[in-house]
Amino acid sequence: QVQLQESGPGLVKPSQTLSLTCTVSGGSISSGGYYWSWIRQHPGKGLEWIGYIYYSGSTYYNPSLKSRVTISVDTSKNQFSLKLSSVTAADTAVYYCAREDTAIDYWGQGTLVTVSS
Amino acid sequence: DIQMTQSPSSLSASVGDRVTITCQASQDISNYLNWYQQKPGKAPKLLIYDASNLETGVPSRFSGSGSGTDFTFTISSLQPEDIATYYCQQYDNLRVLTFGGGTKVEIK
């Protein structure tokens, strides 16, 4: 059973960089076949796909966030990470990491990140 | 970019009722359409993949149909535990995901 767990600060100041890490257990990122994604959900709102990374390091980002997003992978630790720069209050959301193929079959529990001074 | 229009945004139905949610894509997406259920405070759960395939372990009262631009998600007999928000999601050849706006299902 694959499990994903997000970790990182729950509070980030405006203009700073949001950094989250997802630790995967029960399966290996480097085995291939899946994309490892970040998705967010603004409070009381719908789901927004942020982007994904493949074990090889190839990435694809949501065009609306592309200029501020970096997703990286550390296969030795079976982790992947999200960095979102120049955050504002509009980036306050629950951030989920997930395993993606053509559907998302495994999700982390989500972590609330609040952008506030 | 492909846009997904989901309707209704909310509905109220009685236990045992048949519930139908629709999702329309802004262009032909073949059967590249999935459905999720999200309960408050929880991550979404995959119910239907590739428009009509039931994910393992999901009750058979849930079903999906459609192809091209028009898709339907049905709960054949609404149960109290089905109270949740449901989302459609499409994917393209780059594995970019786009979600519908969601449908909140409540018990009347």
List A72's β-bridge partners, or say none. A81
Query: Encoding tokens for residue B4?
Result: 């997904």
**DSSP string across A2-33:** -EEEEES-SEE-TTS-EEEEEEEESS-GGG-S
Q: Cβ separation of A102 and B49 shorter than 8 Å?
A: yes
**DSSP string across A66-110:** GGGEEEEEETTTTEEEEEE-S--GGG-EEEEEEEESSSEEEE---
Average pLDDT over every residue of B47-75 = 97
- Phi first, then psi, for residue A4 (nearest 5°) are -125, 140
Q: For chain B, give the percent of residues with pLDDT over 90.
A: 92
- Judge whether B86 is closer than 8 Å to chain A, CB to CB: no
CA–CA separation, B93 and B108 (whole Å): 40
CA–CA separation, A89 and A91 (whole Å): 5
How does the average pLDDT of chain A come out, rounded? 96
Q: In a 3-state reduction of DSSP, which class is residue B80?
A: helix
Q: Cβ separation of B44 and A100 shorter than 8 Å?
A: no
Half-sphere exposure of B79 (CA within 13 A, CB side): 7
**What is the predicted pLDDT for the residue at A63?**
92
- CB proximity under 8 Å: A 59-78 to B: 60, 62-63
Average pLDDT over every residue of B73-81 = 98
- Judge whether B17 is closer than 8 Å to chain A, CB to CB: no
CA–CA separation, A26 and A2 (whole Å): 4
**What is the predicted pLDDT for the residue at B92?**
84
Query: Encoding tokens for residue B28?
Result: 């032909």
Q: Which residue has the tokens 């949740």?
A: B84
Residue type, A94: V
Q: Cβ separation of B36 and A46 shorter than 8 Å?
A: no
Average pLDDT over every residue of B8-31 = 97
Q: How confident is the model at residue B86 (pLDDT cuts 50, 70, 90)?
A: very high
Average pLDDT over every residue of B31-53 = 97
**What is the predicted pLDDT for the residue at B96?**
85
**What is the predicted pLDDT for the residue at A25?**
97
pLDDT surpassing 90 at residue B94:
no
Q: Please report the sign of the dihedral spanned by the C-alpha atoms of residue A101, residue A107, residue A108, residue A112.
A: positive
Q: How confident is the model at residue B31 (pLDDT cuts 50, 70, 90)?
A: very high
Task: Say if residue B96 is exposed, middle or buried (CB neighbours under 10 Å; 0-12, 13-18, 19+).
Answer: middle
Half-sphere exposure of B36 (CA within 13 A, CB side): 25
**What is the predicted pLDDT for the residue at A101?**
86
pLDDT surpassing 90 at residue B61:
yes
The string of pLDDT tens digits covering residues A69-117 is 999 999 999 999 999 999 999 999 999 999 998 899 999 999 999 999 9
**What is the predicted pLDDT for the residue at B93?**
81
Query: Encoding tokens for residue A65?
Result: 């966030």
Q: For chain B, give the percent of residues with pLDDT over 70.
A: 100
State how far residue A61 is from chain B, nearest Cα, in angstroms: 8
User: In this structure, how many other beta carbons lie within 10 angstroms of the beta carbon of residue A26?
Assistant: 10
